[in-house]
Amino acid sequence: MNYQIQSFAEYEEIYKYSIENPEAFWAEVAGHFQWQKPWDTVLNWNFKDPNIKWFEGGKLNITENCLDRHLESLGNKTALIWEPNDPNEPSRNLTYKQLHTEVCRFANVLKNNGAKKGDRICIYMPMVLELAIAVLACARIGAIHSVVFGGFSAQSISDRIQDAQCNMVITSDGAFRGAKQIPLKPIIDEALKTCPSVDKVIVLARTKSAVNMTADRDVWWHNEIAKVNSNCPAEITDAEDLLFILYTSGSTGKPKGVVHTCGGYMVYAGYTFSNVFQYQPDEIFFCTADIGWVTGHSYIIYGPLANGATSLMFEGVPNFPDAGRLWDIVGKHQVNILYTAPTAIRSLMQAGHHYVENKNLSSLTKLGSVGEPINEEAWHWYQDNIGHKDCPIADTWWQTETGGIMISPIAGITPTKPCYAMLPLPGIQPVLVDEKGEEILGNDVSGNLCIKFPWPGILRTTYGDHERCRTNYFAAYPNLYFTGDGCLRDADGHYRITGRVDDVLNVSGHRIGTAEVENAIDMHHGLVETAVVGYPHDIKGQGIYAYAICLEPPEDENKLRAEILAIVTKEIGAFAKPDKIQFVNGLPKTRSGKIMRRILRKIAEGEFENIGDVTTLLDPAVVEEIKAGRLDR
C-alpha cells in the first residue's frame, strides 16, 4: 500500500480496504513512523464509555518523528519559514537541524525550570518561531501543552489554566498584529492572580515593551536559553500518553479541554497532511491558521514536520498592511500549497480585485479551505483568482476533536465540487442519522453527521471530566461519535457540511458557544436574561445576535451596548463580541421555560414568514414585539 494515494482508483481501493480491515490499514500507516517500541495492540475501543486506545504498548516521541529522523537526509532542508507581521522586518528560516537544536535547547530550559513529563504547560504567544519551538519542546520532554489563542482574555486564560492545573506558562511581552501592538504579559499577569498552580512563567521578548517581572516566578526566554546546551534526548512516551489539551467551545457554558494523545494523533495528523495536500518533497506549505487553534497544531506544526515538509508560519493578519498581504507572501516565498479559511477568502475577495492583480501566484499548485462552510461565490473566486483556475481546492471538514482532516478531496486525486467536502478519507466511516438516531441510508439525503468507527486522531477524553466527553459526543446516538454538524449526502454520495445543529456558533471560523456568550453578557448587573443566536454574515460566515432583557428600560441603549461588549471582551475575548444587541421585554419560551432559539434565529435572519407555530409559547405576544424591534443593520 502506498502511504500517499496516487490515483482515484487507488483511493477507492484503499478506502474499501480501510473499512474492511481498519486495524491492518492503520497498522500499515503507523509503520511509516518511527517507534521506539512497536505497539502490542492496534486498537481497543468502545464508544459507550467511551474508551479508545490506539497502538497500545507502543513507545515513541513525536519530536523524534518530526525532527530527529529527518536530520540525516533533510537536515539542511528548511523546516519552518517565518514571515513577520511587518513586511519590512526580515523573514527567518529554520532548517530541520536548526529547529532540532532550538527545540532541544528550549526543552532543557523547561527542565531547568522544573518542568517534567506529564506537567501541563500553558502557551500564550504570538505567531513567532518560538511558539512552534515551545510546543515541540513540551512534546520533547513529555509535558502536555495547552496552547491558548492570543485573542483570549485574562479570564479565559485563567479558566483554562485552572482546569488543566498548569504549573508553567510560556508567553511573550507582547504581540504585533496588523497595526496594533497587543500586550500579552500583562494579560497573563492578570490571569495568574487566580491561578495558584502556576509557579513559573517564561517570557519571550518580542515587542520589547515594558513588562513587570515577578521575582521567583518570571524569567526571560533569552536569559534561560543562554544557560543550556542543545543536548536533550527525547523523553519516551507511551502511545496513549497525553500530547496536548486544546480548549474548544461546546453547547454548554464552559469550554472543554479536548485531549489528544501521542501515537494516534501523530499518525493521523501525518497521514492526512501527506495525502490531502499531496505534499511533494520540495513544496512550500502555507497554512494561515493560528497555532492557538487545532488547524495550526496539526497543519503548521505536527503534520508537515512529521513529513519532512517546509511549513510557513505568518505572524500577522491577511489585511495588513493591505488586503494583498497573503498574495505577497505567496509570491515572496514561492508558496505551493495554500491552506486558509473561508472568512479570509471572503474578506479579501470583498477588498477588491486590485489587491490580487499583478501578484505572482504562479507557484501555487493546490489550495485548501478549512473551518467553516465555504459559499459558492468564495469557492469560485478562490479557484479563479488565487488558484489561476487550475489548482484543486481541498475543502477540508474536521474538528478540534477529530485531530485531523476527516472528509475532504485529496488534492488533484479525488473530485471536487464547490461547497462540498466530498468524500471521507481512508479509515473514516461517516453516517447520517435522523432525530431518533436511525441511520439514513442511500443518497440524496441529509441528517446529523456521526462517525461510526474510531480513527487514530479521535479525542480520547475531555480533560478532567470524562463524563462530559461521553455526554457531549457519545450519548446522543448509541455507539456513534456525534459531530454536532448537519450534513447532506447528494445523489453522487458526496458530502456537504451544512453547519452546526447544536448551540455552537462559527464566527470567522472561531467556534463560540451561545451559552458562553450569554453567561458573559448576563454578568452585567442591569440585565435579567439574554439569548444569543447566530445569523448569516457576509464575511464572518455567522454573526452574533444577542437579545437581552433589561432590569429597567435603559436610558442610553448605546452606552449599555458598549458596556456589554466590554464585558464579553473581558470574559472571553474581542472575537466573541455580538454584532447586534436588541433589547427586549421578553423572550419566546415554552411553557417549561426553554428558550425557543429557532424563533430567535428566524427573526435575526429576517425570515418572519417561516417562524412556525408560536401558539405553544408561554407568551406568544413577545414574538411580535421582537420582530418589530429587529435590528437589520
What are the residues binding ligand PRX (CB under 6 A)?
Answer: 248, 294-295, 370-373, 395-400, 421, 483-485, 497, 499-500, 506, 511
Minimum CB separation from ligand PRX for residue 16, in Å?
A: 24
Minimum CB separation from ligand PRX for residue 258, in Å?
A: 8
Give the number of other CB atoms < 10 A from CB of residue 220: 15
What is the sign of the dihedral through the CA atoms of 589, 594, 599 and 600? positive
Q: Which residue shows C-alpha cell 477524553?
A: 461
Output 500 or 602, the one with its CB closest to ligand PRX. Answer: 500
The H or E element that residue 368 is part of is strand 366-370
What is the distance between the alpha carbons of residues 141 and 474, in angstroms, rounded to a whole number? 32
Minimum CB separation from ligand PRX for residue 276, in Å?
A: 11
Minimum CB separation from ligand PRX for residue 519, in Å?
A: 19
Output 185 or 494, the one with its CB closest to ligand PRX. Answer: 494
Output 371 or 578, the one with its CB closest to ligand PRX. Answer: 371
CA angle 288, 289, 293 (to 5 degrees): 170
Output 511 or 597, the one with its CB closest to ligand PRX. Answer: 511
Minimum CB separation from ligand PRX for residue 469, in Å?
A: 14
Output 151 or 373, the one with its CB closest to ligand PRX. Answer: 373
Minimum CB separation from ligand PRX for residue 283, in Å?
A: 22
The number of CA neighbours under 13 Å toward the Cβ of 562 is 4
What is the distance between the alpha carbons of residues 119 and 186, in angstroms, rounded to a whole number? 24
Which residues lie below 8 Å from residue 390, measured CB to CB, with a gap of 6+? none
* Residue among 343, 631, 378, 397 at smallest CA distance from 507: 343
Output 275 or 400, the one with its CB closest to ligand PRX. Answer: 400
Minimum CB separation from ligand PRX for residue 340, in Å?
A: 12
Minimum CB separation from ligand PRX for residue 249, in Å?
A: 8
Q: Which residue shows C-alpha cell 458596556?
A: 563
Residue number of the CB atom closest to ligand PRX: 400
What is the distance between the alpha carbons of residues 543 and 577, in angstroms, rounded to a whole number? 9
Minimum CB separation from ligand PRX for residue 381, in Å?
A: 16
Q: Determine the longest span between alpha carbons in the chain, in angstroms.
A: 73
Minimum CB separation from ligand PRX for residue 50, in Å?
A: 18
Q: Which residue type is seen at 620?
A: P
Output 141 or 433, the one with its CB closest to ligand PRX. Answer: 433
Q: How far, CA to CA in Å, does 225 sit from each of 9, 131, 204, 219?
A: 51, 14, 10, 10
Q: In a 3-state reduction of DSSP, which class is residue 456?
A: coil
SS3 content of the chain, % helix, strand, coil (to 5): 30, 25, 40
Output 54 or 398, the one with its CB closest to ligand PRX. Answer: 398
Minimum CB separation from ligand PRX for residue 372, in Å?
A: 5
Direct distance between the N- and C-terminal alpha carbons of the chain, in angstroms, rounded to an integer: 55
Output 115 or 533, the one with its CB closest to ligand PRX. Answer: 533
- Length of the chain in residues, anyone? 633
Output 22 or 255, the one with its CB closest to ligand PRX. Answer: 255
DSSP assignment of 69-116 equals GGHHHHTTSEEEEEE-SSTTSPPEEEEHHHHHHHHHHHHHHHHHTT--
Output 487 or 581, the one with its CB closest to ligand PRX. Answer: 487
